[in-house]
Amino acid sequence: MMEWTLAGLFGISIILLVLSISKTSKQSKAEHNQIDLIHISTMKEINAIQDSIRNIELDLEVVMKEAGVQLSSEDKVFMREVLDLTNRNYSTESIAEMKQVSVNELEKMLAPYRTTKEGRKVANEN
> 3-state secondary structure string, 81-98?
HHHHHHHCCCCHHHHHHH
| Final residue before a domain boundary, out of 53, 70, 87 | 70
| 107 and 75 share one domain | yes
Return all residues near 35 (Cβ < 8 A) that are at least 6 apart. none
Please give the tally of structural domains in the chain.
Answer: 2
| 81 and 120 share one domain | yes
Residue 13 lies in a domain: no
* CA distances in angstroms from 90 to 11, 81, 82, 84, listed in the order given: 77, 11, 9, 9
| 121 and 105 share one domain | yes
By residue count, the chain amounts to: 126
List, for residues 11-33, the tens digit of each pLDDT value. 999 999 999 999 999 999 999 99
Residue 32 lies in a domain: yes
Residue 7 lies in a domain: no
Task: Find how far residue 120's CA is from the centre of its chain.
Answer: 28
- Domain interval for residue 51: 24-70
List, for residues 24-76, the tens digit of each pLDDT value. 999 999 999 999 999 999 999 999 999 999 999 888 888 877 777 777 778 88
| 66 and 76 share one domain | no
| 126 and 95 share one domain | yes
Residue 47 lies in a domain: yes
Closest C-alpha among 121, 113, 61 to residue 84: 113
Return all residues near 110 (Cβ < 8 A) that are at least 6 apart. 82, 83, 86, 92
- pLDDT over 80 (residue 120): no
Return all residues near 79 (Cβ < 8 A) that are at least 6 apart. 71, 109
| 60 and 75 share one domain | no
